[in-house]
Structure 1
Amino acid sequence: MREDIYTLPNALTLSRILACPVLGWSIVQGDFHLATALLVYAGLTDLADGFLARRYQKQTVLGTILDPAADKTLMTTLTVTLAMKGLLPTPVAVIILGRDVILSLSAFYIRYTSLPEPKTLSRYWDFTLPSAEIRPTRISKINTALQLALMGVTTINPVLPFQLGSSLTAFQWVVAGTTIWSGLSYLFTKDAVRLVSPGRQKKPQSM
């Protein structure tokens, strides 16, 4: 069974992913005004795609994959480039990236094991064939918000008329702690991954 993935919410989410290389380039080049503008765009489209998906019943299984993927692409871009500029401690960057790498590898494995037969390469990458949903845990949602807040504050700090100093450093290490906690939470939350039943796969086609 297939679902319609060509929706405005999915397009907005994809646009956030495509904006990440420009965001990374602006940080590396020291253009923090452009970086701040792109962060505002990312935040607005994140709010818009969620609202539109709920308001017009355009939720898709691909959307449940793309939305966190967009967040992680944004987070990875900011983490790497801010660490390169010396604005983010390297150990904090390693913790954030390490958690995401482990969760990404787990997602690839879950996709393979949950995909109905035949398990071909073309079917594996065909996201109109939903097989499983990954549901973020509560602490993971909190951690994502804290990470995005941290990256936003770290990015705009160079253009502020004052420096946050030790308070920003403390916030960075708090987020490092919640990142570790959120990663471990997936091991102990039984409904973090839900297989998509045939009935669930049919539902989007009636919209």
Structure 2
Amino acid sequence: MITITGIVKVSNSEEGQSSFKITVYRYENPWTIPNFLCMARIGLSPVLGYLIVEKEFNLSLGLFFLAGITDLLDGYIARNWANQKSALGSALDPLADKILISVLYISLTYAQLIPVPLTAMIISRDVALIAAVFYVRYKTVPPPRTLSKFFNPCYATAQLKPTFISKVNTAVQLVLVAASLAAPVFQYADSMFLQTLWYITAMTTAASAYSYYHYGKKTVQVLNHTK
């Protein structure tokens, strides 16, 4: 992690005076093992979606558990090795989860294993959260703001802190995906168990969306600051 200081001259036209603002921000190496694992999970998403649409449920179930292993590994490595932890990873990990979950829910809805209203609810929440992440990124990138700087993963401008209920919601959503993928394999697609999971997932999704609305700025730690 490298700390960089930028000095910006600010002129006051009314008083004819100039002042200086010092912006301190971080420049980090984004090429860590957890980040590579997150990108691998994103790459698996369209493959899983295709297999589900083609009703290859046995293979898609196996690949889904492989994606779950990458999720566990990237979190474990980031927590236990300081040089593998990054601000990019704090955003990339939940983004990878959201992309994977969105693709899986759309595909499972197409396969008639998850109801349309539940998928629409989950996708709407995730789109809103991704839009919020892009807004935070825009506001925290040091000036002058350019596209190359905005999309440069080396600029560590903010770190995301998911709420507790959001972590619970992600786990519940993934449990429903696993249960839905296994349903046609083990012949319980019309069971009360799956329907109960639908309602539980809907409740945790709504609670998670509200938690981000309620806590707002507390879920974001700005790493660069101006003096």
TM-score by length of 1: 0.91
- Map Cα deviations across residues 152-174 of structure 1 (whole Å, 9 max, x no partner): 11111110154461221121122
- Map Cα deviations across residues 158-198 of structure 1 (whole Å, 9 max, x no partner): 10154461221121122112101111111211411111146
Q: Kindly report the root-mean-square deviation, in angstroms, between the aligned alpha carbons of the 2 structures.
A: 1.3
Does 2:114 correspond to 1:91?
no
1:40-55 superposed matches below 5 A: 40-55=65-80
* Identity rate, percent: 38
Does 2:41 correspond to 1:16?
yes
1:126-145 superposed matches below 5 A: 126-145=152-171
Give yes or no for contact 2:180–2:189 (8 Å, CA) kept in 1.
no
Does 2:67 correspond to 1:67?
no
Q: Distance in 2 between matches of 1:144 and 1:138?
A: 10
Unaligned runs of 5+ in 1: 199-207
Structure 2 equivalent of residue 151 of structure 1: 177
Give yes or no for contact 2:140–2:224 (8 Å, CA) kept in 1.
no
Does 2:56 correspond to 1:34?
no
- Map Cα deviations across residues 105-164 of structure 1 (whole Å, 9 max, x no partner): 111111111111111111111121011122111111111110111111111111015446
Structure number, greater radius of gyration: 2
1:182-193 superposed matches below 5 A: 182-189=208-215, 190-193=217-220
Describe the shift of the 1:144–1:62 C-alpha distance in structure 2 as closer, same or farther (beyond 3 A). same
Structure 1 equivalent of residue 6 of structure 2: none
The letter of the residue matching 2:110 is M
Please list every run of at least 4 consecutive aligned residues from structure 1 whose deviation after the TM superposition is greater than 4 angstroms: 161-164
Deviation at 1:56, TM superposition (A): 2.1
Q: Distance in 1 between matches of 2:75 and 2:69?
A: 10
Q: Secondary structure at the match of 1:191?
A: helix
Q: Secondary structure at the match of 1:73?
A: helix
Q: Which has the higher strand share?
A: 2
Structure 2 equivalent of residue 170 of structure 1: 196
Unaligned runs of 5+ in 2: 1-25
Q: Which has the higher helix share?
A: 1
Q: Distance in 2 between matches of 1:131 and 1:4?
A: 13
Structure 1 equivalent of residue 16 of structure 2: none
Q: When the two structures are aligned, how many residues end up with a matched partner? A: 198
Structure 2 equivalent of residue 195 of structure 1: 222
Does 2:107 correspond to 1:81?
yes
Q: Distance in 1 between matches of 2:189 and 2:153?
A: 45
Structure 1 equivalent of residue 147 of structure 2: 121
The letter of the residue matching 1:41 is L
Q: Distance in 2 between matches of 1:156 and 1:24?
A: 15
Structure ranking higher on relative contact order (CA contacts 8 Å, 6+ apart): 1
With 91-100 and 54-63 compared, the bigger mean Cα shift is at 54-63
Deviation at 1:55, TM superposition (A): 2.2
Q: Secondary structure at the match of 1:98?
A: helix
